[in-house]
A and B are shown apart, each in its own frame.
Chain A
Amino acid sequence: MFLDFFLLLKNQKVPVSLSEWLTLMSALDRGHGKASLASFYSLARTICIKHEKYYDDYDRCFAHFFYDEALAKNPDIGEEFHHWLKTAELPELPEEWGKKTFQTWDRDRLLDELEKRLQEQKERHDGGSKWVGTGGTSPFGHSGYHPEGIRVGGMSRHGRAIQVAAKRKFANLRNDQILDTRQMSLALRQLRVLGHIGSQDELNLPETVRATSQAAGDIDLVFQASKKNTVKLLMLSDVGGSMTAFAKLCETLFSAASGASHFKAFAHYYFHNCPYETLYTDMSREQTIPTKDILKTYNSDWTVFIVGDAYMSPYELLVPGGSVDYHHHNEIPGIEWLNMFRRRFPASAWLNPIPNNYWYGESISLVRDVFPMFPLTVEGIFEAAKMLRNIQQRRK
């Protein structure tokens, strides 16, 4: 009977495999997890879930399977949404509402409506009778007065909500959210390529044997440097304009990359919207450096991250003189510069702070034709770093 539950986990992209299933079965055979649903809950979790980031998914699947079917239908009641509801002030209930008749729907209808409203609703609502929010007589939201509504977050106020979609204790352990410096630098660590550098502190056995036999058996110990990271990272960041909104995120990436001691070298430059013939060494874009110099100074061993939203008028990329800066005339169109970078640095990738489900627009697709693009999240960096490392290793 648990097979369906197991398949549900799999469907929800929780990584489970046959060996977890077999372990779970043998644990059940041995009498574990039978005392109560709670003991089954922890047994199955300890066997099937191997990272706390999946605890939240597990909770949702579990609630779905063993309690109701609502959650799976609406797996992504947005986090932000929860936030509104959690923190809202309760409005006073107008007196006449007490007498008002409520629309009553069956559960399926309720769920459909909830889904619809979640998609339509773009802002916070406290009170009112249609949207999801706090108070009010809409069947959705929390602390409201609809007798059969779906509670979304908040405390159970009238004890009648037929489904509770909010008890997600582990929601903040999910890692599709944008995270802190430490996690970013760990993601960057994926870039690591090892080579023998530094002080010689490791016995090189084959060399020792060779040297010893050459010295006719008089033992000659040969030491070598231990393996260390050989990766050199060059980062180009878009600053100003539309990027201001992402300043904090880019800062986090920057401190992760510059602070991390795991690179052999690290260099960084700035540009605005698109790199042209000059780049900047400071964020306020006052100190310039010719882009050609950079292409000369850094050889193809360098791994390159370009950070930017790639969100601009296609004109800025395609036309000579298309630079957004009025006083600046570029002879070579932006896209050519991008191509030059790409040719120079085979191990290069574009990190975009815009979430990848919003990558519309011509300029983004033009840039994506040149560079592989990844979202600027921990997982995005992880994937990008893995790809770049493979490129670097293949080049060796």
Chain B
Amino acid sequence: MSQTFTDSQEYVASPELTEIVNIALDLEKPLIIRGEPGTGKTLLAKAAANVLGRDLLTWHVKSTTKAQDGLYVYDTVQRLNDSRFGDNDVSDISQYIKLGPLGLAFQSEQPVVVLIDEVDKADIEFPNDLLHELDAMSFLVSETGKTITAKHRPLIIITSNAEKELPDAFLRRCLFHYISFPDKSLMTEIIKVHYPDLEKNLLAQVLEAFYALRDFEGISKPPSTSELIDWISALRKSGIAPKQLQKSIPFLGVLIKKEEDLKALQQPVKKRGWSGVFRLFFIVEEPKSSGIS
């Protein structure tokens, strides 16, 4: 292994995840990353590219994306138009072949990192159409008869939101990791990356309130890391004292985005003897005080 992935200033990864990225690098297998929103799936690829000193090629998958788009697109309409108006040399097909992110990665002189973002947004058959290309790391441009083969096998990171089951044949060729939601100690590190000078006292209170909110039953969309970071920023700007957080949660709208969830939080807390979660130490404020912008 010539290169290894480590934690960086910008991205805090668990030791387990770091090791898995390195395994993926060494075994040259695509790595599928799954996890709750806001656990840093997409950022992982960026961090890996940074640390490894490689270029990052991102392929944002949409519901209409086809596997072919990642390899190359043959711009027929352009060529037809050119032939009509005599603009370019239409006999040179190669100028109408536009390489996609995978195509570019294969052609690159340097090893790169490819991020296939939200792979399950596309059609159910999408991953299957990439099987051969990921295995052989080459594809044929049928219009020109040329085969493009990877000079260096790229590190491929695929993120998925579990919207669709990925096909078995595809999964067999990949490594898989599920990023659990960060626990308090990892979260502390993550926050320190964003706010290195955050007061210790405030941090402790913020985390306490945040995790209590996440555990609150009846919330359909628990707040995630990015919401927590926005919230801290709001708290700092308004200069709220850490003690205040024991009594209420200001700017709740930053953390909770769904109206039903806000309502659920505002209902009088039912006393259920069995759960520590319901020892709620905060009184939720009216939503009108939660707008910050």
Select B178's contact among A43, A47, A55, A208, beta carbons within 8 Å. A55
A residues 269-306 near B (Cβ < 8 Å) are none
B residues 163-181 near A (Cβ < 8 Å) are 163-166, 168, 171-178, 180
How distant is the Cα of A42 from the Cα of B20 in the complex, in angstroms?
Answer: 8
Q: Which residues of B contact A336 (CB under 8 A)?
A: none
CB of A26 within 8 A of CB of B23, answer no
Select B23's contact among A20, A27, A203, beta carbons within 8 Å. A27
CB of B81 within 8 A of CB of A46, answer no
A residues 179-232 near B (Cβ < 8 Å) are 180, 186, 189, 192, 203, 205, 208, 212, 218-219, 221, 226
CB of B274 within 8 A of CB of A186, answer no
Q: Does A104 contact B (CB under 8 A)?
A: no
A39, chain B: closest CB distance, angstroms: 6
Select B26's contact among A20, A30, A169, A180, beta carbons within 8 Å. A30
CB of A26 within 8 A of CB of B27, answer yes
A30-B27, A205-B76 are contacts. A46–B175 as well, Cβ < 8 Å?
yes
Q: Does A119 contact B (CB under 8 A)?
A: no
How distant is the Cα of A205 from the Cα of B80 in the complex, in angstroms?
Answer: 11
Q: Does A19 contact B (CB under 8 A)?
A: yes
CB of B16 within 8 A of CB of A88, answer no
A32-B26, A89-B274 are contacts. A203–B178 as well, Cβ < 8 Å?
no
A50-B32, A52-B178 are contacts. A19–B275 as well, Cβ < 8 Å?
no
CB of A49 within 8 A of CB of B176, answer yes
CB of B20 within 8 A of CB of A46, answer yes
Select A219's contact among B83, B163, B168, B174, beta carbons within 8 Å. B83
CB of B64 within 8 A of CB of A226, answer yes
A47-B175, A219-B83, A221-B77 are contacts. A42–B27 as well, Cβ < 8 Å?
no
Q: Does B34 contact A (CB under 8 A)?
A: yes
B194, chain A: closest CB distance, angstroms: 27
Q: Does A17 contact B (CB under 8 A)?
A: yes
B46, chain A: closest CB distance, angstroms: 20
Most buried by B among A32, A203, A208, A226: A32
Q: Does B84 contact A (CB under 8 A)?
A: yes
CB of B273 within 8 A of CB of A23, answer no
Interface string of B11-30 (1 = CB under 8 A from A): 00000100110010011010
How distant is the Cα of A84 from the Cα of B10 in the complex, in angstroms?
Answer: 42
CB of B168 within 8 A of CB of A27, answer no
B residues 1-53 near A (Cβ < 8 Å) are 16, 19-20, 23, 26-27, 29, 31-32, 34
CB of A23 within 8 A of CB of B27, answer yes
CB of B23 within 8 A of CB of A32, answer yes
Residue in A closest to B24 when the chains form the complex, CB atoms: A46
Q: Which residues of A contact B273 (CB under 8 A)?
A: 89
A19-B173, A20-B172, A30-B26 are contacts. A203–B76 as well, Cβ < 8 Å?
yes
CB of A46 within 8 A of CB of B23, answer yes
CB of A50 within 8 A of CB of B176, answer yes
A233, chain B: closest CB distance, angstroms: 18
Select B274's contact among A27, A55, A88, beta carbons within 8 Å. A88
A321, chain B: closest CB distance, angstroms: 45
Residue in A closest to B35 when the chains form the complex, CB atoms: A52
Q: Which residues of A contact B16 (CB under 8 A)?
A: 42
Interchain Cβ contacts within 8 Å, total number: 72
A260, chain B: closest CB distance, angstroms: 12
Interface size of B in residues (CB-CB distance below 8 Å): 37
Residue in B closest to A42 when the chains form the complex, CB atoms: B16
CB of B274 within 8 A of CB of A17, answer no
How distant is the Cα of A32 from the Cα of B22 in the complex, in angstroms?
Answer: 9
A residues 1-55 near B (Cβ < 8 Å) are 15, 17, 19-20, 23, 26-27, 30, 32, 39, 42-43, 46-47, 49-52, 55
Q: Does A87 contact B (CB under 8 A)?
A: yes
CB of B27 within 8 A of CB of A27, answer yes
How distant is the Cα of A47 from the Cα of B27 in the complex, in angstroms?
Answer: 11
Residue in A closest to B32 when the chains form the complex, CB atoms: A50
How distant is the Cα of A46 from the Cα of B175 in the complex, in angstroms?
Answer: 5
Q: Which residues of B contact A221 (CB under 8 A)?
A: 77, 80
How distant is the Cα of A9 from the Cα of B162 in the complex, in angstroms?
Answer: 22
CB of B176 within 8 A of CB of A51, answer yes
How distant is the Cα of A17 from the Cα of B77 in the complex, in angstroms?
Answer: 45
Q: Which residues of A contact B34 (CB under 8 A)?
A: 51-52
A50-B176, A203-B76 are contacts. A42–B19 as well, Cβ < 8 Å?
yes
Q: Which residues of A contact B220 (CB under 8 A)?
A: 180
How distant is the Cα of A232 from the Cα of B242 in the complex, in angstroms?
Answer: 55
A42-B16, A46-B176, A52-B34 are contacts. A219–B80 as well, Cβ < 8 Å?
yes
How distant is the Cα of A180 from the Cα of B219 in the complex, in angstroms?
Answer: 12
Interface string of A218-251 (1 = CB under 8 A from B): 1101000010000000000000000000000000
A248, chain B: closest CB distance, angstroms: 13
Residue in A closest to B17 when the chains form the complex, CB atoms: A42
B217, chain A: closest CB distance, angstroms: 12
Q: Which residues of A contact B76 (CB under 8 A)?
A: 203, 205
CB of A186 within 8 A of CB of B27, answer no
17 contacts between A and B (CB under 8 A): A19-B173, A26-B27, A27-B27, A30-B26, A32-B23, A42-B20, A43-B19, A46-B31, A47-B175, A50-B171, A52-B34, A52-B178, A87-B275, A186-B163, A212-B80, A219-B83, A226-B64
Task: Report which B residues bind A (CB closer than 8 A).
Answer: 16, 19-20, 23, 26-27, 29, 31-32, 34, 64, 76-77, 80-81, 83-84, 124, 162-166, 168, 171-178, 180, 220, 273-275
Task: Report which A residues bind B (CB closer than 8 A).
Answer: 15, 17, 19-20, 23, 26-27, 30, 32, 39, 42-43, 46-47, 49-52, 55, 87-89, 169, 173, 180, 186, 189, 192, 203, 205, 208, 212, 218-219, 221, 226
Q: A19-B173, A169-B180 are in contact. List 5 more A-B contacts (CB 8 A).
A: A46-B23, A47-B175, A50-B32, A50-B171, A87-B275
